[in-house]
Structure 1
Amino acid sequence: MFERFTRQARQVVIQAQEETRNLGHSAVGSEHLLLAALSRRDDPATAALSRLGVTAGSCRAEVERLADRGGSGLGPDDAESLRSLGIDLDEIRSRAEAAFGPGALDPAPEKPEPARGLRRLVPVRRARRGGARSGGHLAFTPRAKKALERSLREALSLKDRHIGTEHVLLGLLNPDDKVTTTVLRRMGTEPDTARAAVLSGRRRAA
């Protein structure tokens, strides 16, 4: 599949790993791919999304917020709604951490799957003995792999012979991906609206 990726799309995959490292995360998720794709300001599809307020800067802020909340995507309004029902999230977390230690309610990290075929895109460096691997290959989560697989299907459905940044974005803008959907909604848009903008940008560039 990756032989069909354009140079720009390959750079998105590579940059997603850098974004993951910069955020201190352990595996590449679809949200990191989205962030990397949005960083390509010169791409027509990305420019179309920026007109909706979906930018790399706003995306990075929302990904960080989501990670800080343990990936739950619960914001102040959600917490207030639960509080009106007698459910205080802060109190629950405080009691759990007092009993079981810090981070007791944090979700287990999503088990990454090795991304076959991506190794040729990203150089692998051996970890130094006694230290964490720096600059080497990071595994891709199942969500990220599905998004990349969808990008191939998007290219085929559009009868394109290559997979570009726009196809990667279309693969990411899927309502089934709850993480990217949450990030998009925090930026004030919906996957369908963002998808229409990408397709519009693609037509303008044609």
Structure 2
Amino acid sequence: MDDNFSPRVKDVIAYSKEEALRLGHDFIGTEHLMLGLLRDGNGKAISILDAMDVDLDHLRRKVEILSPSNPNPSNVQKDKKNLHLTRQAERALKTTFLEAKLFQSSSINTAHLLLCILRNENDPTTKLLHKLKVDYDGVKEQFKFMITSDDEIVDSPTSESFPNEPDDTGDEKEGNFGTTSSQKGNKKSKTPVLDNFGRDLTRMAEENRLDPVV
């Protein structure tokens, strides 16, 4: 799964950690992932937002308001290798491979990440994007137009295509960002990046513990 991340998505993940540290936070949420996308400033997600006439500087300022900077970041700096992912951020990152599969994409790009952030309507980051007229369906249509122009064949995915999961409204934190979780038995992990984010969905799929994807 990790091997399917585009280089830009890997950069965005790294930037999101740096943005969290810059704000003095000891966690990484979807707001930091969004700041990572904006900091990169390129890629399909940014092209989609531009096409939707989103003021990126205004969006960046609004995202930062969601989680004000910590006035005492010293403790965070000392333990900067162990930032926690919120449940919303963990879900967004883990489901990018499902989004890529639904779009028949060979790799996970920034548009897939943006779409996965928008899937959780109870997430404050998603609510902010909705206020700016950015929602899942609108981004999906822009992305379909973009990749159809590149001669890719795309079916239209729907929200029903994803496994049902309960909505998360809190900031419960899961896993560590920057440390590798233990593996079952002696089986070598093929997904070292996403193993940092908690449960391994690839292994769950192999064990038939995921709901089927239509």
TM-score range, shorter chain: 0.5 to 0.7
**Aligned partner of residue 140 in structure 1, secondary structure:** strand
> Normalized against structure 2, the TM-score is what?
0.58
Partners of 2:11 and 2:148 in 1: CA distance: 22
Structure with larger RCO (C-alpha < 8 A, sep 6+): 1
Deviation per CA, 1:143-181, whole angstroms, max 9, x where unpaired?
A: 101001221101111222321222212212214342222
Aligned mates of 2:22, 2:133 — CA distance in 1: 25
* 1:195 corresponds to 2:140: yes
Measure the CA separation in 2 of the matches of 1:11 and 1:48: 18
Q: Which residue of the other structure, out of 127, 133, 150, is the alignment partner of 1:182?
A: 127
Q: Partners in 1 of 2:63 and 2:88 — Cα distance?
A: 15
Contact 1:39 1:56 in 2 (8 A): no
**Quick one: which amino acid aligns to residue 146 of structure 1?**
R
Matched to 2:98, the amino acid is R
**Whole-angstrom distance in 2 between the partners of 1:176 and 1:34:** 15
Question: What is the CA distance between 1:21 and its match in structure 2?
Answer: 1.8
Q: Is contact 1:52–1:189 with CA below 8 Å preserved after alignment? A: yes
Report the counterpart of residue 47 of structure 2 in structure 1.
47
Q: Secondary structure at the match of 1:53?
A: coil
Conserved? CA contact 2:16–2:33, under 8 Å: yes
Contact 2:121 2:127 (C-alpha < 8 Å) held by counterparts? no
* 8 Å Cα contact 2:43/2:110 also seen in 1: yes
1:102 matched to which residue of 2? none
Question: Deviation at 1:140?
Answer: 1.2
* Residue number in structure 1 paired with 2:21: 21
Letter in 2 for 1:185: H
Provide the C-alpha distance between the structure 1 equivalents of 2:76 and 2:52, rounded to a whole number of angstroms: 42
CA distance in 2, matches of 1:9, 1:131: 24
Of 82, 94, 99, which aligns to 1:154?
A: 99
Gaps (5+ residues) in structure 2? 69-73, 152-214
TM-score (norm 1): 0.60
Larger radius of gyration: 1
Q: Within 5 Å, which residues of 2 pair with 1:1-206?
A: 1-68=1-68, 132-133=77-78, 135-205=80-150
Distance 1:186 1:146, change over 3 A: same
Alpha-carbon distance, 1:58 to partner: 2.3
Structure 1: how far apart are the matches of 2:108 and 2:42?
17
Larger proportion of strand:
2
Alignment gaps of 5+ in structure 1: 69-127
Q: Which runs of 4+ in 1 moved over 4 A?
A: none
Q: Which amino acid aligns with 2:59?
A: C
* Deviation of 1:5 (Å): 0.9
**Separation of aligned partners in 1, 2:96 and 2:22:** 25
Looking at structure 2, the residues matched to 131 and 144 of structure 1 have their Cα atoms a distance apart, in angstroms, of: 19
